[in-house]
Amino acid sequence: MARFTMGLRPALGCLLLCLFCLTAVGQQVRTFNYRGGGQGTITFDHGMHASKGYVCMDCHTRFPPTGAQLFQTQKRGLFSVADHSSDRKCFVCHNGKIAFATCDQCHRR
């Protein structure tokens, strides 16, 4: 029988991520506000994304369609103008095919 062992550091990281997910999505109260690069404030609502069937691991580990990690588990909204027309970060889904892609639906003045 194979035995899986995990070091203390990765185990603590997984535990913290799970606690964050339970707080952020389980209660559906976690929102983050970003400045939006002068184009208007952006509010990200974890609960709204969870209601669409997404779970934390979809974006914070490996996003199934691309196999890429879209976001670190830190509140850092580091986006460039070039990211808006890429298949990275939010724009993997917010491309007009899977989810909306109009500026004013994210950027609120």
Element (H, E) at 44: strand 42-45
pLDDT of residue 78: 75
Residue 27 corresponds to which tokens in the numbers above? Answer: 């209660």
Q: What is the pLDDT of residues 45-88, one digit of tens each?
A: 888 888 988 888 888 887 777 777 777 766 666 788 888 888 88
Q: How confident is the model at residue 29 (pLDDT cuts 50, 70, 90)?
A: low
Domain definitions of the chain by residue range: 30-105
- Helix (H, G, I), strand (E, B), or coil: what is residue 61? coil
The class that CATH gives domain 30-105 is alpha beta
Please state the rounded mean pLDDT for residues 15-33: 57
Cα-based angle 92, 99, 29 (whole degrees, multiple of 5): 95
What six digits make up the tokens of 94?
A: 């917010």
Residues shown for the chain: 109
pLDDT value for 4: 43
pLDDT surpasses 50 at 41: yes
